[in-house]
Structure 1
Amino acid sequence: MSPMRLIRLLALAAALLPVAAQAEIVIVTSQRSGAIELSREQAEKLYLGRATTLIDGTPVKLVDLPNGATRDDFYLKLTNKNPAQIVAYRSRLVFNGRATPPIEADNVGEARQWLTETPNLIGYLERTDITSGMRVLLRLP
């Protein structure tokens, strides 16, 4: 194989890798939560700090995963904003006193525990990380 062909093949493989590595992200809550329904638009408003309650007035709290690929993928899929844009946006809201950021879990296990045990707490996980005791509210393919 010629060196040029090998370079093209490696470039193609590298371009396809991020697409293959992206997992389905789901927004979840505890089975103990009331009858929560969540649209994509509501989820975006909650995670961008534009709302703190559901349409029916139910107050909710949010959980965030630590910095990393799943968190970045979640915000990009939900809000179309990259990590730097989310940090800048949230910093302005918090500085002006208009929003409180989500509670940040130290790891997926901690987030999973909180989401299973705490009513009216909403968070996101990769589909493969959900457990019994959770209810899926929204899928972000």
Structure 2
Amino acid sequence: MAARRYPRLLAPALLLGAFAGAPACAADLVVIVSARNPVATLRADQVAAIFLGQAVRFPDGAEAVPYDLRLGASTRDEFYARVTNKTPALVKAHWSKIVFTGRGQPPAELPDSVAVRRRVADDPEAIGYIERSALDASVRPVFVVQ
């Protein structure tokens, strides 16, 4: 009987260990569009494609203009890790290849979540990601970063 119980007890311990390495200050992140944008929701793969330059349009066909947080921002690193499964070095390498081959440019960078929210609110074609705490009625969350 004890041999059967051991795996059950081990699984929760392994799960707790897996979360122990996660940053304690991980922010709740949301992907946003202007309140004037008709897009209601996006999937993770659609968000990743837009921010990696693989898609330049929203699913409804309207142009999608992504905005990034500044290079080195922990929120930016967290966003790319969770949505694209890429480290900052892999994101940099990805964009270096895209730029070198002339297939695109990385998203414009803004200094913080408030600046992203303001830019996205002013442009129905814009898309960005911010900390949930920076949300207001001028923008609409279309994806919650898990």
> Fold-level match, TM-score > 0.5?
yes
2:39–2:58 CA contact under 8 A, matched in 1: no
Match of 1:66 in 2: 70
1:50 aligns with 2:33: no
2:140 aligned with 1:135:
yes
User: Which whole-Å CA distance do the structure 1 matches of 2:121 and 2:60 have between them?
Assistant: 22
Shift of 1:37: 3.4
Q: Describe the superposition over 1:41-97 as per-residue Cα deviations: whole angstroms up to 9, x where unpaired.
A: 111111111110122321110000112100000000000000011011111101111
Query: Structure 1 residue 111 and structure 2 residue 125: aligned?
Result: no
Please state whether the residue corresponding to 2:48 is helix, strand or coil.
Answer: helix
Distance of 1:140 and 1:100 partners within structure 2: 24
Measured after TM superposition, the shift of residue 36 of structure 1 is 4.6
Report what 1:76 is aligned to: 81
Q: Secondary structure of the residue that 2:83 maps to in structure 1?
A: helix
Distance 1:80-1:35 versus aligned 2 partners, 3 A rule: closer
Structure 2 unaligned blocks of 5 or more: 1-18
Unaligned stretches of 5+ residues in structure 1: 1-14
Runs of 4+ in structure 1 deviating by more than 2 angstroms, as ranges, are: 15-19, 34-37, 106-109
Residue equivalent to 1:95:
100
Give secondary structure in 1 for the equivalent of 2:23.
Answer: helix
Q: Which stretch shows the higher mean deviation, 47-56 or 17-26?
A: 17-26
Match of 1:22 among 6, 21, 26: 26
Count of aligned positions: 127
Q: Is the CA contact 1:28–1:124 (under 8 Å) kept in the aligned structure 2?
A: yes
Q: 1-side partners of 2:40 and 2:63: how far apart?
A: 11
Q: Percent identity?
A: 32
TM-score by length of 2: 0.80
Letter in 2 for 1:107: D
SS at match of 1:32: coil
